[in-house]
Structure 1
């Protein structure tokens, strides 16, 4: 979406604004109840076409359950789901051929090689002609860096290699949308960089990508949009840059007299803390010119002053702290 960020739990707005761009997926009033457990509760989610949306949330927040309903793998208790303009799960046969997905790891045969497993997956692809299957499999293996291990048995793969093979199965044919649930799980730093590169390539090709992850740094590095879930509800969603700008206003002051600056601002009842980047002054109740005036009048040298940007980790903590989790993520239920 191109409008300003929406924080349904932070008081910025109570409603999702009308999208200014076409949507690859949307949910309205989405709810899923397992016996006495509410896994997802009235989720309104917009996924703009061509975006890389990061779904964030603590364990039990409903990320995986939401993804499953988005893909038609789980039927909602209530609410509506649209995927690529198709109603889900009723029209899944029309939508899913254009969607590649890696959700909680695919089921591969342990005694078959990685390549043979992928050949079986490719045989079920409705848009792959039989003669094109070997080439598509080899290209997918090469794309995820598994060509050298293609003929090894799957049971001998590391967790990271299994994740790569699952990603390869999602990329056998060109997709309009790719959904990845914890794609960097078990990967070493080099493998994580490869996943980041693949996501960037998909984005450059105009593919919509939805990534569920608990690695905030990876989401901040790869995603254009973010949706934060807490206790089965979306507490914030929007463009990543807008959400970061919506954080607590602060002024970052670089000075050789950092300790004096902190003491001076506190004497003037201005919230301040010392960070590795400099002195961070709270602008919630004090305008930036007043902060600088106080420092200069006290003889504090100010070398640079810039508007501080909220990091994703700070934003995530602010949105989710103090809330009780819906419970541990479990298979088939509130994950």
Structure 2
């Protein structure tokens, strides 16, 4: 059962806005004997761009659906823009734009006509502003030239763009994008990255589910990693990457002298193509530099060596194979689609 007042929005201290745009506590979803999401505590800070990562079947989309009120949790609490769900959905959803999985539109209507219908359902969009908002959204996602074509003739990438346009019809407090670059070519992917950057610059909170680690690393300020239905790590991206490898990279022409000097002082070090890698587990960066200076080593540059997001993701999820596999939940959802 979801905790919350079914009638009113959640109160905040002294009327101040909630610090988190969305959060879950002990969130759990079970399909029969399959646990899709298991006691997930997720925090989405206001103004952040949070990338939700995880292998197939890790619970990303199910968690997003529960955040948006599309799926009822088996247990746990969901708060969206300061409102407890499900009672606060009517307060929160008008402030949320979302693209979840494959967008669904009327196949015999044009892209513009479909978007006009979406705009007419927006409670915060006046009738006189609908045409302008639709035109601006189509232009923003690069569909202005194809707006008059029927949706059934759209490519997968064009369908994704139209779904994104529907999420951006008017300014939002929170935008949720589930695999927004699915089906897009490199140019389209860059455009989506620019849209996310623009939303972030305007103060909008963005939650992005993606399997493209390079895109997440380029666009996100925060990361949440899901594995087997649970959150295995979350926080600021830079902090997670820096915590992954307590190392220092020293650029010097005296590589051999530097390595020997550090090892003589019981500091683990090894030569690399870029210089000297120093393990900071039992020392600090200033002590490393002081040791090298005393040994008359020419130090040209010193920088913290971070773990890449791909390495961090692999370590956290304990990936055993690079082959994509459908989970029990995926199979269940596919069977449900086929029976419709």
TM-score (structure 1 length as normaliser): 0.83
Contact 1:39 1:60 in 2 (8 A): yes
For residues 24 and 296 of structure 1, what CA distance do their matches in structure 2 show? 49
Asked if residue 241 in structure 1 is aligned to residue 250 in structure 2, the reply is no
Question: In structure 1, which of residues 217, 220, 236 is the aligned counterpart of residue 217 of structure 2?
Answer: 220
Asked if residue 193 in structure 1 is aligned to residue 227 in structure 2, the reply is no
Show CA shifts across 1:79-102 (max 9, x none). Answer: 000101112223212211110000
Partner of 1:330: 330
Contact 2:267 2:279 in 1 (8 A): no
Contact 1:29 1:79 in 2 (8 A): yes
Offset of 1:171 from its aligned partner?
A: 0.9
Q: Give the aligned length.
A: 314
Show CA shifts across 1:254-291 (max 9, x none). Answer: 2346688779978978364635x444333224555676
Show CA shifts across 1:5-24 (max 9, x none). Answer: xxxxxxxxxxxxxxx97111
Q: How does 1:275-294 map to 2 (within 5 A)?
A: 277-285=274-282, 287-288=284-285
Question: In structure 2, which of residues 129, 133, 149 is the aligned counterpart of residue 152 of structure 1?
Answer: 149
Partner of 1:100: 97
For residues 156 and 274 of structure 1, what CA distance do their matches in structure 2 show? 53
Question: In structure 1, which of residues 241, 252, 270 is the aligned counterpart of residue 268 of structure 2?
Answer: 270
Show CA shifts across 1:129-181 (max 9, x none). Answer: 32322111111101111101111122222222111110001111221110000
Question: In structure 2, which of residues 159, 167, 175 is the aligned counterpart of residue 170 of structure 1?
Answer: 167
SS of alignment partner, residue 64 of structure 2: helix
For residues 141 and 253 of structure 1, what CA distance do their matches in structure 2 show? 49
Question: In structure 1, which of residues 309, 312, 334 is the aligned counterpart of residue 309 of structure 2?
Answer: 312
Contact 1:39 1:62 in 2 (8 A): yes
Offset of 1:64 from its aligned partner?
A: 0.6
Contact 1:262 1:274 in 2 (8 A): no
Structure 1 or 2: more helix by fraction: 2
CA gap 1:94/1:119 in 2 versus in 1, 3 angstroms: same
CA gap 1:70/1:323 in 2 versus in 1, 3 angstroms: farther
Partner of 1:7: none
For residues 269 and 130 of structure 1, what CA distance do their matches in structure 2 show? 69
Partner of 1:62: 59
Contact 2:58 2:230 in 1 (8 A): yes
Contact 2:255 2:271 in 1 (8 A): no
Partner of 1:139: 136
SS of alignment partner, residue 284 of structure 1: coil
Asked if residue 43 in structure 1 is aligned to residue 40 in structure 2, the reply is yes
- How large is the Cα RMSD of the aligned pairs? 3.0
For residues 258 and 197 of structure 1, what CA distance do their matches in structure 2 show? 41
CA gap 1:284/1:105 in 2 versus in 1, 3 angstroms: same
Partner of 2:111: 114
Question: In structure 1, which of residues 22, 25, 28 is the aligned counterpart of residue 22 of structure 2?
Answer: 25
Show CA shifts across 1:156-213 (max 9, x none). Answer: 2222211111000111122111000011112122211111111111112211110111
For residues 269 and 18 of structure 2, what CA distance do their matches in structure 1 show? 40
Deviates more, 1:147-156 or 1:282-291: 282-291
CA gap 1:290/1:145 in 2 versus in 1, 3 angstroms: same
Contact 1:266 1:272 in 2 (8 A): no
SS of alignment partner, residue 181 of structure 2: coil
